[in-house]
Amino acid sequence: MTRLSLQEIVAGALAEVGLASPPIEKGQGSARTTIWFPGERGIGLRQYESGRKMYVVQARMSGRLRTVTLGSANVLTRHLAITVGRRVLARALVGQDPAETRLAARTSPTMDDFMGEYWEKCSPGWKPSTVATCTNYRKSHIDGAFPDLFIDTLSEEQVVRWFVSLTDRAGPAAANRCIDILHAALNKAEAWGYRAENSNPCRDVRRNKRIHRKRFLSVEELGRLGSVLLERRASPDGMVQTYASAITLLILTGCRVGEILALKWSDIRGLRAHLRDGKAGPELSGLASLHGMFSTPSRAIQGWTMCSGTRAISAR
């Protein structure tokens, strides 16, 4: 840490109290005296032969005593000079160095570069559907959202502005999903040493309120739906029959659409199905005696259980 670093710390401390930085003092020879304030180590008043008076602060940095000017006694009161001096000494004591801060910012990756590194290292462990969904959100709403910004300089204020704008443009649900992706990435930034611990700017950002769907079908409605599905499953149209079977499986098993449509005959193990694309990872789900709702192996295309005889059906 150099004298220039101490001057920058002084400038920051003065800015916090609404004052501009003092001019850099040139060598004044020996025609000056310094009176150090009792009880305030390192803070004093320097008097020149010309009658000029300047408040100064002195700190040991890198093994050397360094002294810099706080400001003119015509501008600063003694109380204010002591307040600023204490802040400067506190920062110097913990080793805060603006020069090192700038160097760290220059060597840290930009947000876009970091997201690329995060994706390369972490996405191989995700489910294929998770990779596809998150990649779409990233390319649409995260890449380029913080141009030329370094990973360790991203602040909560900047995240909030982006989140509010994204909510207006893409909707509350998409904004929530994107900030969750960014939150997870910045947690890794802390783990990899790019950001200070517990500095994730997404942590305290309030997500958009979710609309919880609490509408359940009545017994009568379930009966009517079951009758229609039974009729459709008997349809001569293979596609209609397959869609009706898939919907019936969703109702009776509680599985997700992607889990049912991703099933292959190789996943059927007796009365249980191996869900390769389960939300919480691979898992088994009970099928009871629902085999009749699947395509028969002879009709299945490339092993898919949900197909019309000519092609597998899609969640879209």
Fold for 108-191, please state it: DNA polymerase; domain 1 (1.10.150)
CA torsion sign, 143 to 145 to 149 to 152?
A: negative
pLDDT tens by residue, 7-27: 666 666 666 655 555 555 554
- What is residue 100's predicted lDDT score, i.e. its pLDDT? 52
Higher pLDDT, 285 or 289: 285
* 31 phi/psi in degrees, rounded to 5: -85, 60
Cα–Cα distance measured from residue 218 to residue 174, given in angstroms and rounded to the nearest whole number: 31
Low-confidence winner among 20-29, 92-101, 103-112 (lowest mean pLDDT): 20-29
Handedness of CA 175, 181, 187, 188 (dihedral sign): negative
State the average pLDDT for the chain.
78
Is the pLDDT reported for residue 178 higher than 60? yes
Instruction: Map out the domains of the chain as residue ranges.
Output: 3-105, 108-191, 219-293
Is the pLDDT higher at 244 or at 136? 136
pLDDT at 282: 55
DSSP character string of 267-300: GEETTEEEETT-TTSSEEEE-TT-GGGSPPTTT-
SS3 165: helix
What pLDDT is attached to residue 270? Answer: 67
Cβ 3 vs Cβ 68: under 8 Å:
yes
Q: What is the reported pLDDT for 13?
A: 61
Res. 316: pLDDT tops 50: no
Is the model's pLDDT at 179 over the cut of 90?
A: yes
pLDDT greater than 70 at residue 97: no
What pLDDT sits at residue 310? 45
Q: What share of the chain is helix, strand, coil (3-state, %, to 5)?
A: 45, 15, 40
Rounded CA separation 236/220 (Å): 27
Looking at per-residue pLDDT, the higher value among 187 and 107 belongs to 187
Lowest-confidence region among 36-50, 227-241, 273-287: 273-287
